[in-house]
């Protein structure tokens, strides 16, 4: 017969390691999302206030320029006539991330979802509150890298979304699950059980 656990949370067998704490992961996700959102709001406010309707500001010649534009479309100005659709998609992404956070126990996924949530809320705020109308607002973009290449102009929220997306693909490829397990661990447990 098995002996009673010595301390709360101690596993009964060596085969099942303790699960990482969910509360800390959710707190990290929320904190990172809030920081990204705040940076996005502040930078957009500053560039609209001080740089809009002015000549682009060259920070590093041929490499980095601050060039304020209003983007009615998605990334890379795709779908400029579908602003309402992109607003609804962004709202759906925010809802999905918040709902998924209930199962969150992975530190890398907390960072990933924090980046995605902060970026999605940042651009969604523009779409809701900026001209020309609610859910049709144009996103403020202002960072232009390597201008001679015509690389699209972007913002802090866009950067967070792209970084979060790349990290999500990497984590999925490596088998990291949102609940803190790895795909190969789950397969081993199924074959051993």
Distances in Å between the Cα of 10 and the Cα atoms of 23, 42, 96, 144, 189 are 18, 45, 32, 52, 20
Catalytic residue among 53, 126, 158, 192, which?
Answer: 158
Q: Which residues contact 68 (CB under 8 A, 6 or more apart)?
A: 47, 48, 51, 52, 53, 54, 56, 140, 141, 142
Would you call 192 a catalytic residue per the annotation? Answer: no
Would you call 141 a catalytic residue per the annotation? Answer: yes
Catalytic residue among 40, 53, 126, 141, which?
Answer: 141
Quote the CA–CA distance of 105 and 103 in Å, as a whole number.
Answer: 6
Phi, psi of 177 (to 5 degrees): -100, 160
As annotated, the active-site residues are: 141, 158
């Amino acid at each position: 017969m098995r002996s009673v656990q010595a301390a709360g949370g101690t596993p009964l067998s060596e085969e099942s390691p303790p699960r990482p704490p969910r509360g800390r992961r959710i707190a990290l996700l929320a904190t990172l999302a809030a920081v990204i959102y705040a940076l996005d709001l502040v930078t957009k406010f500053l560039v609209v206030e001080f740089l809009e309707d002015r000549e682009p500001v060259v920070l590093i010649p041929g490499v980095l320029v601050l060039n304020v534009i209003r983007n009615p479309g998605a990334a890379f100005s795709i779908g400029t006539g579908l602003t309402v659709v992109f607003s609804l998609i962004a709202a759906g992404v925010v809802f999905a991330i918040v709902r998924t956070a209930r199962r969150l126990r992975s530190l890398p996924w907390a960072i990933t979802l924090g980046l995605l949530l902060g970026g999605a809320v940042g651009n969604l705020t523009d779409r809701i509150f900026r001209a020309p109308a609610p859910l049709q607002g144009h996103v403020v973009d202002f960072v232009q890298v390597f201008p001679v290449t015509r690389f699209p102009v972007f913002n802090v929220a866009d950067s967070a979304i792209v970084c979060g997306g790349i990290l999500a693909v990497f984590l999925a490829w490596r088998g990291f699950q949102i609940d803190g397990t790895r795909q190969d661990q789950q397969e081993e447990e199924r074959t051993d059980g």
